[in-house]
């Protein structure tokens, strides 16, 4: 029997999950899960590069696990776990940090952006977290990593680190490949379609969250920024607002941009925004309701992340053992 390839991904619990989190990541995880040996985690170690309220971080971690399941990730077939519960992530990050060049980390775009936004807390973790991300991926010998466009640079660094280690110490790591969905990979702000929909965007109506009420979802779409003119066509450069709404509608319905243009030919922006809002409302309704039900059973959720961490640790220990042997570390008694 042919061995299944491995797929891995994770999201930080630094804020509530967005519509973009679903279309750009979790929906694809669920669709790919039947084809791969899957490891999906809550990246709480990454989250603390920015100061977090401990109680909120714990709440969002459990809530995010429930949302993974509510979005269709099957805990019986996929390992769902919390990053900090698998100590090998931090251990491998140190080893990989010793074969990562300072200049490589200096060039990381997100370090520059996050440093500018958090100038009072430019910590070492913010600088080195791409190495931890590399450890996340390489620990599990991942073949495929679903990433958004803004994470491609991190995956390229991961590949560089893996190839460098393999070249110096002998083949240990699988070189991962990116998976970038053709539609819905980058959902933009409803108030500023030039920027990605973000957890940190405080503008009213800019973002839609998976647990938003139907009223909140409809309000956000009715207030969504559109463009000059009245025709509904896909033109990201000339009509970024409408194009973003078309991207969302396409991801929610499976319709092509051409089909959407025909469907709304002769109709105004108001009709289109209402249709997108209603479609997203119905898409999110079962996710919100299922999440709320799961959060009532904390023991069940604990059993899921414990069993997921056990499965993850088993794979991670094998990889870390190979790394330590190649580095020349003495074996444990």
| Active site residues per annotation | 114, 196, 199
Structure tokens at 240: 């970024």
Q: Quote the crossing angle between the two packed helices 109-117 and 152-169, to the nearest 10°.
A: 130
Phi, psi of 291 (to 5 degrees): -60, -45
C-alpha distances (whole Å) from 75 to each of 67, 227, 300, 304 are: 12, 43, 11, 7
Phi, psi of 227 (to 5 degrees): -135, 175
Q: Which of 228, 225, 211, 208 is nearest to 277 (CA)?
A: 208
The Cα–Cα gap between 242 and 228 comes to 10
The burial class, CB within 10 Å (0-12 / 13-18 / 19+), for 324 is middle
Give residue 43's Cα distance to chain centre.
9
The Cα–Cα gap between 161 and 92 comes to 12
Q: Which of 320, 309, 318 is nearest to 96 (CA)?
A: 320
The Cα–Cα gap between 19 and 207 comes to 8
Q: Is the distance from CB of 97 to CB of 138 less than 8 angstroms?
A: no
Neighbours of 215 (CB within 10 A): 9
Q: Provide the 8-state DSSP code for 36.
A: S
Q: Is the distance from CB of 294 to CB of 75 less than 8 angstroms?
A: no
Going edge to edge, which strands form the sheet with 6-11?
Answer: 79-82, 37-42, 6-11, 144-146, 177-179
């Amino acid at each position: 029997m042919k061995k299944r390839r491995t797929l891995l991904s994770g999201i930080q619990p630094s804020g509530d999950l967005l519509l973009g989190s679903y279309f750009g990541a979790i929906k694809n995880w669920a669709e790919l899960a039947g084809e791969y040996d899957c490891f999906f985690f809550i990246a709480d170690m990454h989250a603390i590069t920015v100061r977090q309220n401990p109680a909120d971080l714990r709440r969002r971690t459990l809530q995010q696990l429930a949302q993974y399941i509510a979005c269709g990730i099957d805990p019986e077939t996929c390992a769902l776990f919390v990053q900090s519960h698998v100590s090998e992530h931090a251990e491998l990050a140190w080893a990989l940090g010793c074969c990562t060049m300072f200049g490589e980390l200096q060039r990381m775009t997100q370090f520059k952006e996050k440093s500018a936004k958090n100038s009072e807390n430019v910590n070492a973790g913010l600088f080195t977290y791409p190495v931890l991300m590399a450890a996340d991926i390489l620990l599990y010998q991942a073949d495929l990593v679903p990433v958004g466009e803004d994470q491609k640079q991190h995956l390229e660094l991961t590949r560089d680190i893996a190839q460098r280690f393999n070249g110096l110490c002998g083949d240990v790591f699988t070189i991962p490949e990116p998976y970038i969905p053709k539609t819905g990979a980058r959902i933009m702000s409803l108030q500023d379609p030039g920027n990605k929909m973000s957890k940190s965007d405080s503008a009213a109506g800019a973002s839609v969250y998976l647990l938003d009420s139907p009223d909140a979802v409809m309000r956000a779409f009715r207030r969504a920024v559109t463009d000059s003119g009245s025709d509904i066509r896909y033109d990201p450069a000339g009509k970024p607002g409408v194009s973003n709404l078309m991207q969302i509608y396409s991801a929610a319905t499976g319709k092509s941009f051409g089909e959407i243009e025909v469907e709304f030919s002769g109709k105004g922006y108001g009709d289109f925004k209402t249709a997108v809002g209603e479609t997203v409302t119905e898409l999110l309704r079962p996710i919100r309701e299922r999440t709320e039900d799961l959060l009532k059973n904390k023991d069940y959720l604990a059993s899921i992340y414990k069993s997921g961490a056990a499965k993850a640790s088993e794979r991670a220990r094998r990889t870390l053992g190979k790394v330590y042997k190649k580095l020349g570390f003495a074996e444990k008694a």
